[in-house]
Amino acid sequence: GQNIDQPTEMTATEGAIVQINCTYQTSGFNGLFWYQQHAGEAPTFLSYNVLDGLEEKGRFSSFLSRSKGYSYLLLKELQMKDSASYLCAATDSNYQLIWGAGTKLIIKP
Amino acid sequence: GAVVSQHPSWVICKSGTSVKIECRSLDFQATTMFWYRQFPKQSLMLMATSNEGSKATYEQGVEKDKFLINHASLTLSTLTVTSAHPEDSSFYICSARGNGDYEQYFGPGTRLTVT
């Protein structure tokens, strides 16, 4: 079957670093997306990893290990506005998105 | 960047009536459009995938006669919720993907409340 696992909720402190993990099992795999979703809004694109390794984009970085079926999203210098849900989604062999349930990130002052 | 719009952004309707939601790709041709539903505090649930000019493919458990999807052009798809009931109240989000593209571009969503 196809499955995406990520933690339900995480809490971190403003200015700190947090890593949100995601493991996946899909029938075929083409790449992995990370989206940010604020309450009541649609998801917004953060990153797309196809190859193994770390991709850095400002305060956000995303890592992929295809052999381990594992990815993480790293958020640095956390700001209060980073409080949101972070959705991990893998693309299967048909480029369909298989969604995780999302990780609610709570930032405390 | 690619922009997708949805209309209306929110709608309230009475039980038993039908509601149509439009999804438009504003600056690219969307060969594939996706319709999602999201209940409070839950993740996105894919309802159906539609390719321009062909019938939509519905996910298991989604009633195709209740949720009518039309993708008649490369820039417009519509979702009609027929005979709406309070349990259909949800956040409906569309996304669109161009030919050969890997990324789905999301619309802002439509919040439906059925009274």
Distance in angstroms (rounded) separating the CA atoms of residues B10 and A107: 29
Strand B4-7 relative to strand B19-25, pairing = antiparallel
User: In which band, very low, low, confident or very high, does the pLDDT at A97 lie, cut at 50, 70 and 90?
Assistant: confident
Which residue shows structure tokens 């006669």? B65
Partner-chain contact A45 B49, CB within 8 Å: no
Set of chain B residues whose Cβ sits within 8 Å of the Cβ of A101? 42-43
pLDDT value of position B104: 87
- Model confidence pLDDT, tens digit, residues A36-88: 999 889 899 899 999 999 999 999 999 999 999 999 999 999 999 999 999 99
Q: Which residue of B has its CA nearest to A101?
A: B43
Q: DSSP string spanning B79-107?
A: EEE-S--GGG-EEEEEEEEETT----EE-
Check CB contact of A48 with chain B, cutoff 8 Å: yes
What local confidence, expressed as pLDDT, does residue A95 receive? 75
Give yes or no for A100 touching B (CB within 8 A): yes
- For A20, residues 6+ apart whose C-beta sits below 8 A from its C-beta are A6, A7, A10, A72, A73, A74, A75, A86, A88, A103, A105
> What count of CB pairs under 8 Å joins A to B?
38
Residue B81 C-alpha, separation from nearest chain A C-alpha, in angstroms = 20
pLDDT at position B43 is: 81
Interface of B with A (CB under 8 A): 34, 42-44, 46, 49, 91, 93, 97, 102-109, 111
pLDDT at A94 over 80: no
pLDDT at A59: 96
The pLDDT of residue B20: 97
Residues paired with residue A90 on neighbouring β-strands, in sequence order: A32, A98
Interface touch A33/B103, C-beta < 8 Å: yes
Residue range A16-32: average pLDDT? Answer: 94
| pLDDT given at position A93 | 82
Identify all chain B residues contacting A40, using CB atoms and an 8 Å cutoff.
91, 111
Q: Report how far residue A1's alpha carbon sits from residue B7's, in angstroms, rounded to the nearest whole number.
A: 35
A20 bridge partner residues: A73
DSSP helix/strand/coil, B27: coil
A7 touches chain B (CB under 8 A): no
The answer to whether the CB of A80 falls within 8 A of the CB of A14 is yes
Q: Of all helices (H) and strands (E), which one includes residue B10?
A: strand B10-13
Cβ distance of B49 and A95 shorter than 8 Å:
no
Task: Tell me the pLDDT of chain B (115 aa) as tens digits.
Answer: 689 999 999 999 999 999 999 999 999 999 999 999 998 878 889 999 998 888 899 999 999 999 999 988 999 999 999 999 999 999 999 999 988 887 889 999 999 999 9
pLDDT of residue B100: 80
DSSP letter for A72, please: E
Indicate whether A1 pLDDT > 80: no
Show the tokens assigned to B20. Answer: 């149509």
Q: If you average pLDDT over every residue of chain A, what do you get?
A: 94
